[in-house]
Amino acid sequence: MKAQILYNVNDICYEDTQDPVLREGQVLVKVHAAGICGSDIPRIYVNGTYHFPTIPGHEFSGEVVDTFEGEDKDLCGKRVGIFPLIPCMECSQCRQGHYEMCKHYDYLGSRSDGGFAEYVAVPKWNLIELPDSVTYEQAAMLEPMAVAVHAIRKAFELKGNGFSQKVFDEGAKESGEFPDYFKIAVTGLGTIGLFIVMFLKNIGFENVYAIGNKNFQKETALNLGISEDKYYDYKSVSDSILNSFDLVFEVAGRNETINFSLVLAAPSGSVCFVGNPESDISFAKDVYWMILRKQLSITGIWNSSFTRQENDDWHYVLDQLSKGAIHPENLITHRFSLDKLQDGLELMHTKKENYIKVMSTFP
């Protein structure tokens, strides 16, 4: 098969390699679409990964074309999305069903070969079957969308509201669980930040503010339903909205925006840290005082909930996709074939063009 193989830092090659050899419990997935995650860029160009060679890519979807020794043949032909984290099933978190916090996890695209290839060996436990109404490109974005939903759910746990089925079914306003004045800010409008905006608006929250630093981010936020008066450039935020948000999502992972998120929060507000840190994080003394004096609640999120149950993050996202309630494909700005995927990686690495989601599509 053909694959993009990472041999060392900044050394990725498109070439022939052996087809995956299936082990018990695995199926062979023919990849039809794979997204480039922001975390792929430092993995490929700066930090490297857990071993070399490795085939990167953890946001992908495809079709099951073979199974281990002929078992589970009914899976062949199924269109599937893939949860990339492979839990050990033995640690304390796994025994509680918190697989995203597994102590000894494997991971497709970093610890094991991933989706920048024609074929991938995937544990059948990690599959989520796709309805015909969901495209492969949409399904290749299940992972970042599930991360966004996981952040929303975790953040609302801080408010004591939970994230009940009533809110899912009826919407934020109709459920009666959130007052009209409830204000939410999302700072950092990369893919995950924009997906958080998308789901908050889809759920029915009206007072959602988006804070970015690029004109194309503003255009995208407006297209997702953010009103003109609720978008702010990070460098020119009005003093009138400081200390005013009941809930703040920090999705940039930069020291200055992490500090700024605490300034945005209202007394008794909540802050959810979502963005992967770009460097060490430190708080100025007066900002730390804000945590104390405003009695802020702070949480972080990691990955997403995949339990194979209908109430997990992945099944919620898939349900919204199948209903046509969300349209993540509108965030795809660039498409590349597998052999040209390095052009997409380079685009994101150098930031020579504006982009949101860069996608590789396969025949």
Domain ranges of the chain: 2-133+324-361, 145-300
Q: Which of 114, 123, 83, 136 is nearest to 315 (CA)?
A: 83
Work out the average pLDDT over 36-47.
96
Q: Say if CB 249 and CB 186 are below 8 A apart.
A: yes
Architecture of domain 145-300: 3-Layer(aba) Sandwich (3.40)
**Residues in Cβ contact with 144 at an 8 Å cutoff, skipping those fewer than 6 apart:** 35, 37, 59, 191, 192, 195, 357
Dihedrals phi, psi of 196, to nearest 5 degrees: -60, -45
Confidence band of 166 (pLDDT split at 50, 70, 90) = low
Helix and strand counts by DSSP (H, E) for the chain: 12, 17
Work out the average pLDDT over 317-346.
97
Topology of domain 2-133+324-361, per CATH? Quinone Oxidoreductase; Chain A, domain 1 (3.90.180)
Q: Say if CB 66 and CB 44 are below 8 A apart.
A: no
Q: What's the gap between Cα 22 and its chain centre?
A: 28
Reduced 3-state DSSP string for 184-232: EEEECCCHHHHHHHHHHHHHCCCCEEEEECCHHHHHHHHHCCCCHHHEE
CA pair distance 298, 317, nearest whole angstrom: 25
Six-digit token pair at 150? 């996981």
Alpha helices for the chain (secondary structure H)? 40-42, 92-95, 136-139, 142-158, 165-170, 172-175, 191-203, 215-223, 255-264, 285-293, 313-322, 341-350
Whether the pLDDT of residue 160 is over 70: the answer is: no
Whether the pLDDT of residue 73 is over 80: the answer is: yes
Which tens digit of pLDDT belongs to each residue from 42-65?
Answer: 999 999 999 999 999 999 999 999
Look at the pTM and tell me if it is higher than 0.75.
Answer: yes
Whether the pLDDT of residue 161 is over 80: the answer is: no
Name the CA dihedral angle for 335, 338, 343, 347, rounded to a multiple of 10 degrees: 50
CA pair distance 160, 171, nearest whole angstrom: 17
